[in-house]
Structure 1
């Protein structure tokens, strides 16, 4: 699809991968709308962007999703790309009965999966009015293999992965709407600091590879180490008929 002249909404756009994508898209002549929970962080991020505005709100909250979707409809009727990037992750020791594992899992599932489904449904009518539109869901290398540190986060991203495949199949005959899935590995951001993010790739690399994928209409976007797993797993799953 085209990579300039778009109106792009990015959740979690005030830092990390979201801000890196916002910078890349802003520098390429797109109108950028960043979203986040912190007004202060949004203001700071806007100083690093051109042709950008911010909408404060927490997409994990139904009322905020409705408010944001309505603002996009009324103030940004040319919206044609949404990037569902906002996420929640917790170290979750399943062996600790006092760990509140279910509460952590609930927040991860709500933010990383349920909220994405609802917000996408709320913005779909606007996207479907455009001549060239896209939905980008940011999942993770964790969709392919969980671990003892992030078991419930991995499960929430695996759910997002499955939903994204179904969404892509749903609109496979609509040539105006494309559905992408971005699979970052460990990325050096504040979000991933607790799990050793300092050893990860820079967020700018994720943004660069997404940009190339948009240009090529490459709907599956594995980044860095994710490519190794993706090359093994996806050719098998794509040939399975349910």
Structure 2
């Protein structure tokens, strides 16, 4: 698809992968809107980028999400590309008193349900464009779960299934909306550093560049570096892939 002259909405766009996607696409002749929960960070991020606006919203909060959708429909009705990047996680191992249920509710709300909700709300806008796309940012652990992030892994597995179902539905209907699954390996970001998993992570800039090239080439499954290796290992034997991912030297 064409990757210039577009309008993009990037959730979780104030830092990390989302920020680098916003930066790269704004530098390549696109209009970008970033959103997230921290307005101060969003304002600072948008000020450092070309042709970028911001809107503070927690996509897991229904009222915030509705305000965001209203803003997009009124201010950016030509939205072409939705990048669902916002995510949250909890690092722990399952067991007695692990609090898995509460952690799962938190992760599923942001990592999966918010994606479904925002996508559904913005479909009427995207359907009006001739060349539109939805990009869902996933993770290796959506395919091969991490024992250190078990319910995060489950939320990403749900996102992967939803992304595939959405793509095949649109292909069957012959709509102009393309659906991309962006699957990076471990990435060195503020997010991964906060959970102690940034060691040996690739730069977020590489993820943004892979997305740009994937959109240009209509590569609907964009698996980057080790993510593709784990994908191949999964189909060779899912138990082997899970074992390899959960070696003692890494958490993701």
Query: Is 1:62 the equivalent of 2:82?
Result: no
Name the structure 2 match of 1:46: 46
CA distance in 2 between partners of 1:156 and 1:232 (Å)? 21
Preserved CA contact (<8 Å) 1:189 1:198: no
For residues 22-50 of structure 1, what are the alpha-carbon distances to aligned partners after superposition, in whole Å with 9 as ceiling and x for unaligned? 01101100000000101110011112210
Preserved CA contact (<8 Å) 2:14 2:45: yes
Runs ≥4 in structure 1, deviation > 6 angstroms?
Answer: none
Name the structure 2 match of 1:226: 227
CA distance in 2 between partners of 1:63 and 1:200 (Å)? 35
Preserved CA contact (<8 Å) 2:139 2:183: yes
Q: TM-score, normalised by structure 2?
A: 0.90
CA distance in 2 between partners of 1:29 and 1:204 (Å)? 17
CA distance in 2 between partners of 1:124 and 1:175 (Å)? 11
Preserved CA contact (<8 Å) 1:90 1:153: yes
Name the structure 1 match of 2:149: 150
Preserved CA contact (<8 Å) 1:92 1:104: no
Aligned residues: 235
Preserved CA contact (<8 Å) 2:83 2:137: yes
Name the structure 1 match of 2:191: 191
Q: TM-score, normalised by structure 1?
A: 0.93
Preserved CA contact (<8 Å) 2:26 2:32: yes
Root-mean-square deviation over aligned CA pairs:
1.5
Larger mean CA deviation between 191-200 and 22-31 belongs to 191-200
Structure 1: gaps (5+ residues):
237-242
